[in-house]
Amino acid sequence: MAVVSSSSFHSALLAFSSPSIAIPILNPMNGEKRRRWSSYSTRLQCSSRPDDARRISEQSSWKSKDSEGKDYLYRLGQEADNMNIAVGARQGVIDDLFVGNFLGKDSDIVFDYRQKATRSFEYLQGDYYIAPAFLDKVACHIVKNYIAHLLNVKVPLILGIWGGKGQGKTFQTELIFRAMGIEPVIMSAGELESERAGEPGRLIRDRYRTASQVIQNQGKMSCLMINDIDAGLGRFGNTQMTVNNQIVVGTLMNLSDNPTRVSIGQKWRESDVVHRVPIIVTGNDFSTLYAPLIRDGRMEKFYWQPDHEDIINIVHQMYAKDGITRDEVIRVVDTFPNQALDFYGALRSRTYDQSILKWVNDTGGYEKLGEKLLKGKKHGQLSTFVPPKQSVEALLESGHSLVKEHHLITNSRLSKEYMKNIDD
């Protein structure tokens, strides 16, 4: 064991404290530790030089840029709730030193679950027709729930909009949300089932509380909307009920009875009172749902069947950009009566088929279509697509082809076997 004199130890200590001299520490450590301390001292000394570039690890994460050149503060301002925990250890947002490769480039594994849960409808550009009866029912339901504490009546929390397929129930509701400035939380029937028992019920309560937080924190009107609820909760023929079906029904019934006391598993607190959030559900047949859920005290039912005037106004707005006049729309609607609204949208889509086939041939045919579509879309080098010039004759031709296909499907032996009980 080496022995170091007191004078040599003090002189080494003074030398280490000098900012301009980097020498190893003379102490009883072994040689490996001495070399490590010496390299650390030299690294500190080099990084203090003003003419050297600053290391990434020494830069502030507030100044780092993301892939679009925006800094951290700009990204924070764009977040829904303006919370920095919603950013996480994302590559290009925070220093690479803290991102690393040991957990992957994006080490915040729950970032996708912190995304904005609400929906906005800025993509709905242009003028669309909203049926007055539909607007009155939805707007009245929302307003009643927001002023329920002022009314001396029982206000149902849930509005059930039901009717035939393709009648525009969801789209009309979204148009009303945009017109009223509502930022809803949207759910679908696919989220009403899970491999884990109790997960869909907890998800509904969590989304309900999220809509309440939008009202509390952002000062915006919000609601919870569940699309095609009968597809997830309905009882059809020999379908089997699951525990999650029962829990979801029980959750919706409990929300209707106690709309301001919603727990997602935490302990009950007297101060934990949420805002009353109206719920809107859509479906095709509510008779398949659990009867106590759709009783009048919990759910207000609204059957949506657009009349002839509503269909003409909606289809006219649908064809407005194509230069189709109102009289021409009336001719199309009268030629194909008793059709759902999505039928008239399919007419317009069918008229694009020939133009798309011509565009495929102009881009080089089918052989290299995949390569050109993917690379051209990525680099913005796709050839210009010229939409077809719409006419009443083209729409009528598309309509007759759709009706012919429908008759072929419904009159085939296989479809009759599948749909043998459709008349019942």
pLDDT over 50 (residue 86): no
291-350, pLDDT tens digit by residue? 999 999 999 999 999 999 999 999 998 888 888 899 999 999 999 988 888 889 888 888
pLDDT over 70 (residue 99): no
55-72, pLDDT tens digit by residue? 555 555 556 676 777 776
The predicted structure's pLDDT at residue 60 = 58
Band of residue 101 on the pLDDT scale cut at 50, 70, 90:
low
pLDDT over 90 (residue 371): no
Q: Is the pTM of this model over 0.85?
A: no
Q: Which residue did the predictor score with more confidence, 212 or 126?
A: 212
Q: Which residue did the predictor score with more confidence, 87 or 348?
A: 348
The predicted structure's pLDDT at residue 207 = 92
The whole-number average pLDDT for the span 367-384 is: 73
pLDDT over 70 (residue 398): yes
pLDDT over 80 (residue 411): no
> Over the chain, what HEC string results?
CCCCCHHHHHHHHHHHHCCCCCCCCCCCCCHHHHHHHHHHHHHHHHHCCCCCCCCHHHCCCCCCECCCCCEHHHHHHHCCCCCHHHCCCCECCECHHHHCCCCCCCCCCCHHHHCCCECCCCCCCCCCCCCHHHHHHHHHHHHHHHCHHHCCCCCCCEEEEECCCCCCHHHHHHHHHHHHCCCCEEEEHHHCCCCCCCHHHHHHHHHHHHHHHHHHHHCCCCCEEEECHHHHHCCCCCCCCCHHHHHHHHHHHHHHHCCCCCCCCCCCCCCCCCCCCCEEEEECCHHHCCHHHCCCCCEEEEECCCCHHHHHHHHHHHCHHHCCCHHHHHHHHHHCCCCCHHHHHHHHHHCCHHHHHHHHHHCCCCCCHHHHHHHHHHHCCCCCCCCCCCCHHHHHHHHHHHHHHHHHHHHCHHHHHHCCCCCC
The predicted structure's pLDDT at residue 83 = 43
